[in-house]
A and B are shown apart, each in its own frame.
Chain A
Amino acid sequence: MSELIIQEKVIDNIKGKAISKTANDQNTDDIVPARYLKEITFEKMGEYVYIDERIKDGNKVEEHPFNKSGASEAKILLAGANYGCGSSREHAPQALHKFGINAIIAESFAEIFAGNCASLGVVCVTVSSEIISKLAEYLEKNPLAELEIDLNKKMITCGEEKIEFDMPEGRRQAFLKGTWDAMAILQQDKEGIKKIEDNLEYLSY
Chain B
Amino acid sequence: MFRAIAAHLMMTLMLAALLGGCGDSDAPATARSPADGLTGKLTLTGSSTLAPLAAEIGKRFEQRHPGVRVDVQTGGSSRGIRDVTSGAADVGMSSRSLNADETPGLTTHTVAWDGVCFIVHRDNPVAALTNEQLLAIYTGKIDNWKQVDGDDAPIVVIDRAEGRSEVELVTHFFRITTPDIKADAIAGENQQAIKSVSTNPNAIVYLSIGTSEHEAARGVPIKLLPLNGVPASVATVLDGTFPLARPLIMITRNDTPSPLVDAFIAFATSSDVDDLVEAQSFVPIKH
Instruction: Say whether A and B bind each other.
Output: no
